[in-house]
């Protein structure tokens, strides 16, 4: 019987960071993927989003004419 997503999340909350790292590595090896590549691809978008939030574009002053 498959666990629910929430059960899986609750289990992950209860393990150490080292054990989580080991599980991620096992999943990467099992499926031939890398979580690092996905995180690295998302990083530039996060930086752009953070920069935009920190420095929103200025609006031009309204003309009085």
pLDDT of residue 3: 72
Summarize pLDDT for 22-44 with one digit per residue, the tens.
Answer: 998 999 899 998 877 666 666 66
Q: What are the tokens at 31?
A: 């499926």
| Higher per-residue confidence, 10 vs 62 | 10
Q: Where are the domains of the chain?
A: 11-53
Higher per-residue confidence, 5 vs 36:
5
Contact 28, 34 (CB under 8 A): yes
Report field, pTM of the whole predicted structure over 0.75: no
Three-class SS state of 32:
coil
Q: Confidence class of residue 45 from pLDDT cuts 50, 70 and 90?
A: low
């Amino acid at each position: 019987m498959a666990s629910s997503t929430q059960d899986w999340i609750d289990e992950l909350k209860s393990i150490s960071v080292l054990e989580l790292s080991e599980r991620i590595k096992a999943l990467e090896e099992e499926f031939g993927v890398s979580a690092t590549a996905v995180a690295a691809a998302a990083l530039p978008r996060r930086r752009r989003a953070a920069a935009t939030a920190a420095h929103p574009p200025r609006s031009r002053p309204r003309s009085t004419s």
